C-alpha cells in the first residue's frame, strides 16, 4: 500500500502526485505550442502578464507608422482656418499667443503677423472632412480615416519632440514604441524581425533621424528596430561571408551557439541569450528578406496604385509598398521616416513638393490594406512631431512665408486597427493656435496605440535600475471616443 504524505492539510500518495504532475506538464506543453512566447523571460511586474500575451483581446495585430519628420504644417493640409486668410498680416492677438515659449528662431522677432494658407480646402466624403488641394489622393479616402486635430506635445525642438513621440521621453536611451510592442507581444513571424525601419528623404536636407529612435533601450537587444536600406543589401551583413556556403554557415552558427550557451550558463547575462537569438534570426532572414523585397510579383494595378516611384528603392512610395509586404508577413511594427517637412521659409514651394512625395503612396497603402482585408488588423498612422505656427517666421509676402515650430496643437490621421473611420476628433481655435476641444497628449496617443494591440499601457512595464518604466511614463489615457 502506498504511503500517504500529509502536507498543509492535504494528503498525497505517489499515484496522485504523478497524475497531477502529468496534467501540469501537459498544460505547459500545450501552452507552449499555442503561444510560443509563453515562457520567455522579461521584466513584467506582478500586475502585468508574461511577455508575448496581450492583456485583453486586441483589435489590431500590427502598426505601420508613416512618420513625417520635420513637422507638417496643419494649416496647409488638414486644419482649415479661413480666419487666418481674413487677418493676413495682422499681429497675432496677445490673448491668443499668451506666454507660450518660443524657439530661438522667432523669439527675437519684433512682429508676429498672421498668415493663412496659400492653398484652398474642400470638404470630402460622407464625413465632410476638410482637406487641402495639396492632398488629392488622401481626400478620396477620408471616410477610412480618423483625423485628430488636437494633438499636443511638451517639446518645442525637433530632436526632443521626435524622441518623445517614439519613446515617451525627451531624453534618449529609452525603448522605442516598436521595441515595447516587440517585447509585449512577441514574434508573429520567426523569420523576420518584429520591428523594422525604413528611411526616405524629401525636399532639401530636412531634419535628421538617428538610430536612438529605434533603440531597444534597456530591453533585450532582440527588440531593437532593424533598418532596411535601399542598397543591394537591404539589411547589412546578412550574406554568407565570401568562401562560405550555407552548410558551413549553419555549422559555424551551431558551434558559436554552443560557446555562447556555455558563457550564458557561467555568467547568466541575458544579452548572451539575446545574441544567440540574433544570430539565428539573421540566418533565417537570409531567405525571408529577399522574398519580401522582391516586387516582381506585384501586379500592374498595385504599381499604378502606389505610383511609378514605388519601383525606385528608397523612395517614400517604395517604402510604403514594402511596409505593406512586411506587415502582411507578420512584422509587428513598421516605422517609416520621411524627412523634409521643416519649412521655416519658402513654405509654399517646399510643402507642395513634400505633399506630392507622400500623398499618393499614403492613400495607396490604406486602400491596398483594405482591399486585401488587412486594414482591420493593421493600424496605420500619419503625422509629425509637432505643428507649425499661425504666424509667419521671417519676412511675409503674399507669395512666400515660413512657419516656426508649434507644440500646442497639430494634426495626425489614423486608419484601421479598430479606430473609428470617417471622423474628425478635436478642434483648434479659429486661428489654429490653441486647442479648443478634446486635447490629446502624446502619452494619450501612445496609450491608445497600445490599447488597440491589446496592451494596457499601465501594465506594460519593465523594471530597470530599481524603477518601473513604461512607454507612457506616469501619465496617459486611452482616447476611447476614437475607438470603434
Res. 277: pLDDT tops 80: no
Q: Are residues 22 and 116 in the same domain?
A: no
Q: Are residues 384 and 471 in the same domain?
A: yes
220 grid coordinates? 533585450
Contact present, 334 and 65 (Cβ < 8 Å): yes
According to the model, what pLDDT value does residue 290 have? 76
Q: What is the mean pLDDT of residues 350-355?
A: 96
Q: Are residues 20 and 85 in the same domain?
A: no
Q: Which of 268, 46, 360, 63 is nearest to 185 (CA)?
A: 63
Q: Are residues 163 and 208 in the same domain?
A: yes
Place 249 in a pLDDT band, splitting at 50, 70 and 90.
low
Contact present, 432 and 130 (Cβ < 8 Å): no
Helix (H) or strand (E) holding 435: strand 435-437
253 occurs within a structural domain: no
Residue by residue, what is the 3-state secondary structure of 165-187?
A: HHHCCCCCCCCCHHHHHHHHHCC
Q: How many domains does the chain have?
A: 2
66 bridge partner residues: 336, 382
**Helix orientation angle between 442-452 and 177-185, rounded to the nearest 10 degrees:** 30
53 occurs within a structural domain: no
Q: Are residues 93 and 15 in the same domain?
A: no
Q: Are residues 212 and 348 in the same domain?
A: yes
Q: Are residues 105 and 183 in the same domain?
A: yes
51 occurs within a structural domain: no
**Among 75-84, 267-276, 381-390, 404-413, which is the least confidently predicted range?**
267-276
56 occurs within a structural domain: no
Res. 29: pLDDT tops 70: no
Res. 362: pLDDT tops 90: yes
Q: Are residues 290 and 377 in the same domain?
A: yes
pTM of the model: 0.84
Domain that holds residue 76: 62-243+276-482
How deeply is 319 buried, as exposed, middle or buried, from its count of CB atoms within 10 A (0-12, 13-18, 19+)? buried
| Cβ contacts of 347 within 8 Å, gap of 6 or more | 73, 76, 400, 401, 402, 403
Place 255 in a pLDDT band, splitting at 50, 70 and 90.
low
CATH of the domain at 125: 3.40.720
Q: Are residues 104 and 230 in the same domain?
A: yes
268 occurs within a structural domain: no
Q: Are residues 428 and 346 in the same domain?
A: yes
Place 8 in a pLDDT band, splitting at 50, 70 and 90.
very low
7 bridge partner residues: 10
110 occurs within a structural domain: yes
254 occurs within a structural domain: no
Q: Are residues 355 and 280 in the same domain?
A: yes
Q: Are residues 229 and 136 in the same domain?
A: yes
93 occurs within a structural domain: yes
Neighbours of 94 (CB within 10 A): 9
Neighbours of 256 (CB within 10 A): 13
Amino acid at each position: 500500500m502506498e504511503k500517504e504524505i500529509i502536507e498543509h492539510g492535504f494528503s498525497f500518495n505517489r499515484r496522485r502526485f504523478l497524475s497531477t504532475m502529468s496534467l501540469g506538464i501537459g498544460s505547459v506543453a500545450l501552452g507552449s505550442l499555442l503561444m510560443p512566447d509563453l515562457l520567455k523571460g522579461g521584466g513584467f511586474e506582478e500586475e502585468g502578464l508574461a511577455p508575448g500575451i496581450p492583456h485583453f483581446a486586441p483589435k489590431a495585430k500590427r502598426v505601420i507608422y508613416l512618420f513625417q519628420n520635420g513637422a507638417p504644417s496643419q494649416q496647409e493640409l488638414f486644419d482649415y482656418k479661413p480666419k487666418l486668410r481674413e487677418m493676413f498680416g495682422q499681429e497675432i492677438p496677445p490673448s491668443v499667443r499668451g506666454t507660450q515659449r518660443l524657439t530661438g528662431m522667432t523669439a527675437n522677432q519684433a512682429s508676429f503677423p498672421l498668415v493663412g494658407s496659400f492653398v484652398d480646402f474642400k470638404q470630402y466624403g460622407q464625413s465632410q472632412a476638410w482637406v487641402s488641394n495639396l492632398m488629392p489622393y488622401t481626400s478620396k479616402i477620408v471616410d477610412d480615416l480618423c483625423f485628430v486635430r488636437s494633438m499636443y506635445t511638451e517639446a518645442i525642438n525637433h530632436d526632443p519632440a521626435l524622441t518623445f513621440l517614439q519613446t515617451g521621453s525627451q531624453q534618449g536611451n529609452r525603448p522605442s514604441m516598436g521595441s515595447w510592442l516587440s517585447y509585449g507581444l512577441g514574434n508573429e513571424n520567426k523569420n523576420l524581425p518584429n520591428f523594422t525601419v525604413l528611411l526616405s528623404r524629401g525636399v532639401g536636407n530636412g531634419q535628421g533621424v538617428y538610430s536612438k529612435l529605434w533603440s531597444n533601450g534597456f530591453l533585450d537587444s532582440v527588440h531593437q528596430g532593424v533598418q532596411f536600406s535601399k542598397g543591394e543589401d537591404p539589411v547589412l551583413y546578412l550574406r554568407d561571408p565570401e568562401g562560405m556556403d550555407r552548410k558551413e554557415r549553419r555549422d559555424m552558427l551551431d558551434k558559436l551557439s554552443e560557446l555562447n550557451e556555455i558563457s550564458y550558463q557561467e555568467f547568466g547575462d541575458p544579452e548572451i541569450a539575446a545574441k544567440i537569438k540574433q544570430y539565428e534570426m539573421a540566418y533565417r532572414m537570409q531567405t525571408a528578406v529577399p522574398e519580401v523585397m522582391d516586387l516582381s510579383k506585384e501586379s500592374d494595378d498595385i504599381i499604378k496604385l502606389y505610383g511609378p516611384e514605388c519601383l525606385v528603392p528608397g523612395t517614400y512610395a517604395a517604402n510604403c509598398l514594402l511596409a505593406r509586404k512586411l506587415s502582411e508577413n507578420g512584422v509587428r511594427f513598421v516605422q517609416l521616416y520621411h524627412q523634409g517637412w521643416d519649412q521655416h521659409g519658402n513654405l509654399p514651394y517646399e510643402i507642395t513638393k513634400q505633399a506630392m512625395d507622400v500623398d499618393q503612396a499614403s492613400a495607396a497603402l490604406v486602400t491596398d490594406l483594405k482591399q486585401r482585408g488587412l486594414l482591420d488588423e493593421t493600424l496605420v498612422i500619419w503625422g509629425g512631431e509637432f505643428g507649425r505656427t499661425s504666424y509667419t517666421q521671417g519676412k511675409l509676402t503674399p507669395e512666400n512665408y515660413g512657419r516656426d515650430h508649434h507644440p500646442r496643437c497639430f494634426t495626425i490621421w489614423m486608419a484601421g486597427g479598430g479606430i473609428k473611420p470617417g471622423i474628425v476628433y478635436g478642434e483648434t481655435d479659429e486661428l489654429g493656435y490653441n486647442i479648443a476641444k478634446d486635447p490629446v497628449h502624446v502619452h494619450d496617443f501612445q496609450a491608445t496605440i497600445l490599447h488597440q494591440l491589446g496592451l494596457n499601457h499601465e501594465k506594460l512595464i519593465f523594471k530597470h535600475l530599481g524603477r518601473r518604466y513604461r512607454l507612457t511614463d506616469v501619465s496617459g489615457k486611452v482616447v476611447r471616443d476614437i475607438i470603434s
